[in-house]
Amino acid sequence: MDRLTALRTFVLVAEHHSFVEAARRMRVSPTAASRGIAELERSLGVMLLRRTTRAVSLTPEGAAYVERCRRVLDDLDDADRSLRGEDQSPRGTLIVTAPSVFGQMHILPIVTGLMREHAALTVRLTLSDRVVRLVEEGIDVAVRIADLSDSALHAARLAEVRRVLVASPDYLERRGEPRQVADLHGHDLIVFERLAPNGEWRFTAEGRPAIRCEPRLLTDSVEASVAAAVAGAGIARALSYQVVDHVRAGRLRYLLEALEPPAWPVNLLFQANRRRTANVSAFIAAAQGYCRGRLFA
């Protein structure tokens, strides 16, 4: 196996955690794929992958190397597409990931719009609330809702969303409306785990006041927490885009708005060298156009 083929195989193994899948995509045998990477490791003098009977994972050296390999291969592919005149419009596969609810509500319409416009484009859309690793998992663009830590990744800002408290008019008529944070102790709380770090709800930019949540309903599903609030089961914390339609329709009401923590940005994250590709640049432009002027809060 030549060096370039070995590098492509290594990147695919890292993305799919499987020699078999990498070999299938490269159209070689699993034995040839394994032998090619073993030769690559011998030439470099380091182990790139940990192999067990159950899984394949990157070593620390492999994680650093795979990122540089992707950059080199992307640049080569960009050069090939440009030379063939293929980089003028999106084609091939675009891999996007987004949080479940936001992705269903807002990213899916962007994706389907791009697919209508570009017949040669295929999209793999993963909706998951876990934090994905773009480089290791071969993601082209990730939608991230949160303040971003320092990173080598580039970001394009789309919007802002608020962390809000909501309850149904029926619940508030029965139990009364809280006027301060301390009043929440006397209410039925619906807690979505990801919005209650360390089991707390924090308020304002300073994170104070805060309450230790004693939930009447604890769930790992934001859809379930919002549905329970609409049904009158208690007070829930959600992100504004998750409940804005219910608020507009009068099914939910915002509470303690003056004490909300600062809004979180919605960003598109991508590797710097992929911004130039037709697929990624088209997706970013479509997402920014979709979000421009749209109310998420």
Is 128 in the same domain as 275? yes
Is 103 in the same domain as 227? no
**Domain final position from 22, 55, 84:** 84
Residue 264 has phi, psi (to 5 degrees) of: -95, 140
- Domain assignment present for 44: yes
- Domain assignment present for 191: yes
pLDDT at 7: 92
Is 175 in the same domain as 254? yes
CATH number for the domain that contains residue 34: 1.10.10.10
Interval 15-44 mean pLDDT: 91
Using alpha carbons, select from 136, 126, 124 the residue that is nearest to residue 97.
126
Is 214 in the same domain as 80? no
List Cα–Cα distances, 166 to 203, 252, 254, 256, in angstroms. Answer: 14, 6, 5, 9
3-state secondary structure 90-123: CCEEEEEEECHHHHHHHHHHHHHHHHHHCCCEEE
Residue 245 has phi, psi (to 5 degrees) of: -65, -40
For 40-61, what is each residue's pLDDT tens digit?
999 999 999 998 877 888 999 9
Is 19 in the same domain as 74? yes
State percent of the chain over pLDDT 70. 93
CA distance 131 to 160: 18
Is 169 in the same domain as 141? no
pLDDT at 81: 64
Give me 174's structure tokens. 């029965």
Q: Which residues of 56-73 are buried (b: 16+ CB within 10 A; e: fewer)?
A: bebeeebeebbbebbeeb
Using alpha carbons, select from 238, 230, 290, 287 the residue that is nearest to residue 264.
238
Q: For residue 84, what pLDDT band results from cuts at 50, 70 and 90?
A: low
Domain span at 25: 3-84
Is 131 in the same domain as 271? yes
CA distance 219 to 267: 26
Q: What is the mean pLDDT of the chain?
A: 89
Is 181 in the same domain as 243? yes
Interval 244-269 mean pLDDT: 95
For 217-234, what is each residue's pLDDT tens digit?
999 999 999 999 999 999
293/208: higher pLDDT: 208
For 133-190, what is each residue's pLDDT tens digit?
777 677 899 999 987 764 567 888 999 999 999 999 999 999 999 999 999 999 999 9
CA angle 195, 197, 202 (to 5 degrees): 75
**Domain final position from 19, 51, 84:** 84
Interval 82-87 mean pLDDT: 62
Query: Into how many domains does the chain fold?
Result: 3
**Domain final position from 56, 84, 112:** 84
For 1-10, what is each residue's pLDDT tens digit?
889 999 999 9
CA distance 66 to 12: 10
- Domain assignment present for 297: no
pLDDT at 68: 84
CATH number for the domain that contains residue 180: 3.40.190.10
